[in-house]
Structure 1
Amino acid sequence: MSVWRITRLQGEYCLTWDEGDIRRRYRLGTNDPKEAARRAPSRYAELTRPKGSAVKDLWASYCLDKAGRSVVTTMKFTWKALGPHFGEKEGEAVSVADCRSYTEVRRKAGRAEGSIHTELGHLRSVLVWAHKQRLITHAPHIERPAKPDPKEGYLTRPEVSRLMDAANSPHIKLAIMLMIATGARNAAALQLTWDRVDFARRMIQLRNPFDKERRKGRATVPVNDSLLAALEAAKDGALTPYVIEWAGGPVLSIKKGIKTAGGAIGRPDASPHMLRHSAAVWLAEDGHSMDEIAQFLGHENSRITFKTYARYSPGYLRRLAASLEV
C-alpha cells in the first residue's frame, strides 16, 4: 500500500495515492494547506477502506485503521490461521459453533490453548471494532478456550549466571543481564535506547516518552552495580541508538539465543519472559513488599503482584500455619 500525499490541482488541494500503476486523486475541498492536512488522513482511510462485511474485509479495514500499532504486526500471523476458517464468512454470521470448530482444528494441529485464546481474541476485537464503526449491525459472541494460568517456571540465581556464560553472543548476554536486573519485558528491553539510560542518576526509563501507545509493565527503575558496568562497556562500543544491538542494527528477537543458552545449561524452557518472572520471584524471596515489587515491575495494580508472587515471600502465611500446630 502506497503512502498518500497532498498535491494541488487548479489551486485546490488533493489527496493523492498510487494503487499499483494507477494514480488516485481526490479533491479535499479546500485551498488551505492546514485544513488539507487535517482532512487527508481520515479521507484516505475512508476511501481506501475495503468494501464488504465478510470477516476478511472487516479484518483488512481494522488493520488499515490501526496501521502503525504493534498489534497489527501480530495480527498478520494470526490471520494465517483464522483466514481459511473465517475469511469468507459474514462478520455478523460468526457463531459459537464456528468458534468451537476452529478451536478443535487448532488443538488437533498442536496449537497451545493460550495461542487459540489469543487468535480468537483478535477476531473478537475486529468484530467489536466493526460494530462500533457501523460496518455490521452487531458483534457476535466469540467463544474462546479459557486463558491458561501463567507458567510458573523461573530461574535461580546460579542458573542465570550459567545462562549468561552460555550465551553465544554479547548482545544476548547483555539482554539477559538487562532483563534480570530491571524486570523488563522482552519488548521493553529490545526497544530501550541510550537516551533513556541516565548514567549519572543510575536510572533507566523503560517507557519511551514519545510512544503514545498503552504498554504493559514499563517502569523507571534504578541500575545496580553489575548492570551499570555492563552498560558502560556496551555504550563505549555502541553503533546504534539501541542498547541491545547486533551487526549495526536493532535486535528484533532474542528468543532463539536464550533458548539455545537454556538448552546448554539444562533449562530448555528458558525464555525472555521467564527472566522477568525470575526477577520478581527473587525480589519476593528477599522479603520486599508486594507494593514495592509492583512499582518495580510497572504493575498498575499491586493485587496482580500479590496474586502471582506473594507465595514466594519468606513469611507467606507462616503465622497462620503456626496457629494450626497440634
Structure 2
Amino acid sequence: MPEYKLQKFRGGYAICLYEGGKRISRRQLESGDAAGAAAEFSRIVADASRPVDPNIRTIWEAYRAEKEGRRIALNMKWSAKPILAYFGDRKPEEITGKLCGGYVAKRRQDLRGSPEQQERWRKAGKPVASWTGVKDGTIRTEMNQLRAALLWAEKSKIIAKAPAIVMPSAPSPRERHLTRHEFERLLDASETPHLRLYLLLAISTAGRNAALLELTWDRIDFERGLVFLGERNVLRPRKGRATVPMTNALRAALANAYAHRRTDRVIEWAGEPVRSVRTALSKAAKRAGILGVTPHVFRHSAACWLAEAGRPMREIAAFLGHADDAITQRVYAKLSPQYLRTAAGSLEICMRPSLVIRATD
C-alpha cells in the first residue's frame, strides 16, 4: 500500500511517496518552515486519500465519520437504512427532483416506528396496516442529513457540486404547550426522583432533551447560579445550548441531587445515566390525565410562559439558544400581551354614538 512521508529536501521539505519500501515520487513543498510544511503535507495527503467519483454511500459514511461523537452521527445511524437502500449506490449527479419524489413516496408507504415500537404495537394488537406511513417530518430529517453530507462533500472538494435535495414541506409547528397547572399536575404524578429533576430542568432552562440528558455536574455552577447546557467557556455553543440562570426551585433540586449523586451525569437513576425519559414521562402523563406530552413540549412551554409574561423576544431567544430572534419572533411573538398592541393603537378611531349598538324594542 502506498505511503506518504514528509522529508527534508534542498533546504526545505518534500512529500515523498513510497511503495514496497521504494520511493516512487518526490515533490518539493512550498512551505519552508516545519509547521507550514506539516500543514501542507496533511492537506496533500488528505486530498490524495479522497475517493474518486464516490457514490452516496461513500459520502454518507465519510460525513458520519467526520461527525463521530456528535449527536448527528448517532441520528444518521438510524437514517442510514432507508437513505442508503434507496440512494446508496447512486452518484451525486444522478440525484434529481424526480428521484427525491420517489423516495418521499416510498417512505410514505413504509412501516414506521423502530423494531421495538413495532413489537409493542404487535403485542397490543394494533393492526399492521396502521403502522404504515412514515411522517413527512421524519422524511425531512432523513433528507436533510443527506443534503448536509452532500454539502460537506462539496465543501471538502470530494465532489464538484452538491445536487439539490427536494423534500416535503415542513410540517406546521406544534402549538401544544403545557399550562402551569398542567405542569404542576405532571410534576405531582412523577414517581421517580430522576423524572422530577428532569421536569424542573426542562421547564426552568428551556433546554433540549439531548442537552438535559447529557448534562454533567461540571457544568452546574452553584457559586454563580448558572447552568451551562453546552460546554463551558466556548464562544460558539452548539445549537440550542444556552447558559441560563437557576431558578430557586431548580437550585434546591440540583443541590439535593448533587448531594446524592453516583455518576457525573445530572440525570441519573440507580447509579446509571438516564438515556431516555419517554417511558417514565408517558406513565406520569397518563396518571395526570394530560395528553400530548413529549420531551420537546417543555422547551416550547417554557418559551410560551416567557412570552406570556411579556419578556422581550431577545431574552427568549437567548434562553432558547437561538442565534438571533427571528425564529423566536415568528413562533412566540403572538403570545406576548404586547404583540401588535402599538400597531393596533394606530388604527383606533374616535367613539361616536353611531357606533354604539342598541337593542331594539
Q: How does 1:134-173 map to 2 (within 5 A)?
A: 134-173=157-196
CA–CA distance in structure 2, aligned partners of residues 209 and 256 of structure 1: 31
Aligned twin of 2:76 = 75
Quick check: 1:317 aligned with 2:340?
yes
CA–CA distance in structure 1, aligned partners of residues 189 and 41 of structure 2: 53
Q: 1:202 to 1:131 in 2, by over 3 A?
A: closer
Q: 1:102 to 1:316 in 2, by over 3 A?
A: same
Q: Name the TM-score, length of structure 2 as normaliser.
A: 0.73
Percentage of pairs with the same residue: 41
Q: 1:51 to 1:245 in 2, by over 3 A?
A: farther
Q: Which amino acid aligns with 1:70?
A: R
- The number of equivalent residue pairs is 297
For 1:153-192, what per-residue CA distance to the aligned partner results, in whole angstroms no more than 9, with x for missing partners?
Answer: 0001111111122224211111011110111111221222
Quick check: 1:231 aligned with 2:254?
yes
Name the SS of the counterpart of 1:278 in structure 2.
Answer: helix
Quote the offset at 1:152 in angstroms. Answer: 0.9
C-alpha contact (below 8 Å) 2:59/2:149 kept by paired residues: yes
CA–CA distance in structure 2, aligned partners of residues 257 and 323 of structure 1: 51
Q: Which amino acid aligns with 1:258?
A: L
Quote the offset at 1:210 in angstroms. Answer: 6.8
Quote the offset at 1:93 in angstroms. Answer: 0.9
CA–CA distance in structure 2, aligned partners of residues 250 and 211 of structure 1: 25
CA–CA distance in structure 2, aligned partners of residues 205 and 217 of structure 1: 11
Quote the offset at 1:318 in angstroms. Answer: 4.1
Q: 1:250 to 1:213 in 2, by over 3 A?
A: farther
Quote the offset at 1:129 in angstroms. Answer: 2.1
Quick check: 1:193 aligned with 2:216?
yes
Aligned twin of 2:311 = 288
- Please point out which of 272, 286, 300 is paired with 1:249: 272
Q: 1:154 to 1:130 in 2, by over 3 A?
A: same
Name the SS of the counterpart of 1:204 in structure 2.
Answer: strand
Q: Which amino acid aligns with 1:310?
A: A
- Over the aligned positions, Cα root-mean-square deviation in angstroms equals 3.1
Q: How does 1:174-189 map to 2 (within 5 A)?
A: 174-189=197-212
Listed as ranges, the gaps of 5+ residues in structure 1 are: 1-24
For 1:193-212, what per-residue CA distance to the aligned partner results, in whole angstroms no more than 9, with x for missing partners?
Answer: 22222223322222212778
Aligned twin of 1:106 = 107
CA–CA distance in structure 2, aligned partners of residues 212 and 52 of structure 1: 37
C-alpha contact (below 8 Å) 1:92/1:136 kept by paired residues: no
Larger mean CA deviation between 185-194 and 273-282 belongs to 185-194
Q: Which amino acid aligns with 2:269?
A: W
Q: Which amino acid aligns with 2:308?
A: E
Q: Which amino acid aligns with 2:228?
A: Q
Q: How does 1:18-29 map to 2 (within 5 A)?
A: none
Name the SS of the counterpart of 1:114 in structure 2.
Answer: helix
Aligned twin of 2:57 = 56
C-alpha contact (below 8 Å) 2:213/2:274 kept by paired residues: yes
Q: Which has the larger radius of gyration?
A: 2
Aligned twin of 1:18 = none
CA–CA distance in structure 2, aligned partners of residues 40 and 275 of structure 1: 49
CA–CA distance in structure 2, aligned partners of residues 266 and 43 of structure 1: 62
Q: Which amino acid aligns with 1:104?
A: A
CA–CA distance in structure 2, aligned partners of residues 40 and 253 of structure 1: 44
CA–CA distance in structure 2, aligned partners of residues 90 and 103 of structure 1: 19
Aligned twin of 1:91 = 92
For 1:231-276, what per-residue CA distance to the aligned partner results, in whole angstroms no more than 9, with x for missing partners?
Answer: 1111110011111112323222223322332233233321111101
For 1:126-151, what per-residue CA distance to the aligned partner results, in whole angstroms no more than 9, with x for missing partners?
Answer: 22222333333322211111122321
Listed as ranges, the gaps of 5+ residues in structure 2 are: 1-20, 27-34, 111-132, 356-361
